[in-house]
Structure 1
Amino acid sequence: MTSREIYECGFDEDDGKTIAATECPDCAGSLETDGGETACADCGLILDEYRLDHAARPFSRPSNEQNRKRTGPRLTQARHDRGLSSEIGFKRDAKGNSLSNRKQRQLGRLRREHNRARWRSKAERNLGQACTEIARLTSALELPRSVREEASKLYREGQQEDLIHGRSIEGIAAGAVYAACRRSKHTRTLTDVAEVARCSDQQVWNGYSTLNRELQMAVRPLFPVEFIPTLASTLDLESEIEFYARTLAEAATEAGITTGCNPAGVAGGCLAVAVDAFEEPITQLAIADAADVSPATIRAKRNAIWDLERTNELDPNTSGSSVVVE
């Protein structure tokens, strides 16, 4: 009877260890495996990690067959076929082996016919084009996957309600991305979306207003405090100035002086007051360009925030700042 240890040459499902190394190649420290991730206990260098698809979803066979659970990628709204399409490879098979020239030519013919039969209708073809455009916009705006899914879902609903007829695909897709941003906590202005879209500001607004009106979306209002981090990052301001501007924006919202005002303009006015308090050499024109408003708007909101600051006796020293302002 053999006396070798179990899992000596294979894969241990309990610890998830997939490499044979016993010490760190960087510092020669000991290796530890936790949850399938192998890392050095001394320097923290990660040598290997488990490769599990957390997006897997179980599904069952029909009741007349043997019930065998399998896994696969979850359904997604970001693909025109919800992620159930098949892709034909090129020069290698599923095991990574090279294919012969005859097989490659055969796969080329199959791939051509597959691409021709991919769209079952013109509506599905337009949906595929819109999903591609939404993916491009969310990538250019550095938005997460959730916003892409929400925008694709809104476009699908608009297509089902026949809102795309007579309108451009790019305009509705950009409007859906802007609507998804409005419904989430990822603040993007209409100008930000229009800068990366293949349509004008008016077309983006028309697409958004059409979806908002016909689908009766629950769109939350934008608050000035949401624009402070982006403006402070654009102007390369210190964290103390950003924190004080956030305090001013929250006080202005509670006082009700932001009602009916452009939130980006109010945020710019709060930053103008904050940079004056900390004596930073930032002009109102630079703040207006970053907020995409006019300098007159920044000046008007700055005066209103000044009055509120004097009334509530707000001070940078009481707002978590370490800078003394005389």
Structure 2
Amino acid sequence: MLEDYSNNYDVKCKLDTCKTYPIITDSERGEMFCGGCGIVLVQNISDTSNEGNGYGQEDFLKLSRTGPATSLTMYDRGLSSVIGANKDSSGNTLSNKTKYDFKRLRTWDQRSKSRSTVSLSKAFTILNGMKTKLGIPDSVVENAAYIYRKISSAKLTRGRTMASLVSASLYAACRENNIPRTLDDIAIAGNTERRILSRDLRTIIKKLGLNLNQYDTSSFISKISNNMNLKEKTKRDAFDILKRCEIKEITAGKHPVAQAAASLYISCIINNEKISQKKFAEASGVSDVTIRNRVVLIKKTLKIME
């Protein structure tokens, strides 16, 4: 693409016959040349165009010029400087004395960090590990990191374990974004007790004024059916049963995971898939007695005959 001459480069053609011709800038080739005789006046112009969008690791390496974007999941949000490898700006290896000096600088840079910075670094390391175990999207992890930073700013960390607070932040973020993860799933991934996790969750909801919506029960139907490799028709019939239950208003106040498991169990009976309530209890993390009670209530209300 050709553009008119920019005043950033004060160049002119030396020929008298070209004084009336403009200077042309070729952004693709990075050159500026005379509009009269065509002689190249400037080469290797810096690219001032906007950076392209990349949606993968390969695109990022090709298109990125300014490094990764800032992130709340980094203790320094990705803005701090790091003392690099033992090479200078030209790529030459440093001398032994200079290497020793930079090693000492790295050591004191690590030691000079505040306690809050070290605490955030450890917390976000735990959060990143839980993200990998549970398959949580990056946007939800960003929300969890934001909630944990609010917990740290409100000084709610005293007397509470870091793993429990990180787990509570992740569970709250999953609730806000309707990502179907139960307290048991979060507790196992965070290596903490469910009782402590539930207690700390109630505390941060009260202190931070969080408004967590109830999970959509249909999302648990998809999760359980995918884990148990059920047929697609069974899944669709379970959605239909759940919708009929909502119309009859028998889902209010009921455990969403138990309601989803009971709907899937009845759908399996209708579609001749022989799966016991015990297997549904193991896949959903709810006791088989709870599932059995939900099944009885659904059959009685919807008048479903085996």
Q: Residues 98-117 of structure 1: matches in 2 within 5 Å?
A: 98-117=93-112
The alignment partner of 1:227 has SS state of helix
How far 1:103 moved relative to its partner? 4.0
Consecutive aligned runs of 4 or more in structure 1 exceeding 6 Å deviation: none
- The 8 Å contact of residues 173 and 207 in structure 1, kept in 2 or not, is answered as no
TM-score (norm 1): 0.71
- Corresponding position: 1:143 with 2:154: no
Q: 2:224 is matched with which residue?
A: 231
- Corresponding position: 1:52 with 2:63: yes
Distance (whole Å) between structure 1 residues aligned to residue 199 and residue 221 of structure 2:
27
Q: 1:43 is matched with which residue?
A: none
- Corresponding position: 1:305 with 2:298: yes
**72-81 or 130-139: bigger deviation:** 72-81
TM-score (norm 2): 0.75
Distance (whole Å) between structure 2 residues aligned to residue 81 and residue 168 of structure 1:
22
- The 8 Å contact of residues 90 and 104 in structure 1, kept in 2 or not, is answered as no
Find 1:290's aligned residue among 274, 283, 295.
283
- Corresponding position: 1:82 with 2:77: yes
How far 1:82 moved relative to its partner? 2.3
Amino acid at match of 2:172: A
Q: Deviations over 1:161-185 (max 9, x none)?
A: 2211111111111111111111112
Stretches of structure 1 lacking an aligned partner (at least 5 in a row)? 17-34, 38-47, 57-70, 314-325
Distance 1:109 1:302, change over 3 A: same
The alignment partner of 2:247 has SS state of helix
Find 1:252's aligned residue among 239, 245, 256.
245
Distance (whole Å) between structure 2 residues aligned to residue 298 and residue 169 of structure 1:
34
- The 8 Å contact of residues 75 and 84 in structure 1, kept in 2 or not, is answered as yes
- The 8 Å contact of residues 178 and 216 in structure 2, kept in 1 or not, is answered as no
Find 1:198's aligned residue among 187, 191, 210.
191
How far 1:190 moved relative to its partner? 0.3
Distance 1:96 1:260, change over 3 A: farther
Normalized per residue, the structure richer in helix is 2
- The 8 Å contact of residues 77 and 152 in structure 1, kept in 2 or not, is answered as yes
- Corresponding position: 1:178 with 2:189: no
How far 1:228 moved relative to its partner? 0.6
Distance (whole Å) between structure 1 residues aligned to residue 158 and residue 225 of structure 2:
41
How far 1:209 moved relative to its partner? 1.0
Stretches of structure 2 lacking an aligned partner (at least 5 in a row)? 1-25, 31-43
- The 8 Å contact of residues 178 and 215 in structure 2, kept in 1 or not, is answered as no
Q: 1:281 is matched with which residue?
A: 274
The alignment partner of 1:290 has SS state of helix
The alignment partner of 1:90 has SS state of coil
- The 8 Å contact of residues 216 and 256 in structure 2, kept in 1 or not, is answered as yes
Distance (whole Å) between structure 2 residues aligned to residue 179 and residue 298 of structure 1:
25
Q: 2:15 is matched with which residue?
A: none
- Corresponding position: 1:187 with 2:198: no
Q: CA RMSD in A?
A: 3.3
How far 1:256 moved relative to its partner? 1.4
- The 8 Å contact of residues 174 and 207 in structure 1, kept in 2 or not, is answered as no
Amino acid at match of 2:105: L
Amino acid at match of 1:117: S
Amino acid at match of 1:273: I
Distance (whole Å) between structure 1 residues aligned to residue 120 and residue 300 of structure 2:
52
Q: 1:215 is matched with which residue?
A: 208
- Bigger radius of gyration: 2
- The 8 Å contact of residues 138 and 147 in structure 1, kept in 2 or not, is answered as no
How far 1:80 moved relative to its partner? 2.3
Distance 1:101 1:285, change over 3 A: same
Distance (whole Å) between structure 2 residues aligned to residue 152 and residue 281 of structure 1:
43
- The 8 Å contact of residues 90 and 108 in structure 1, kept in 2 or not, is answered as no
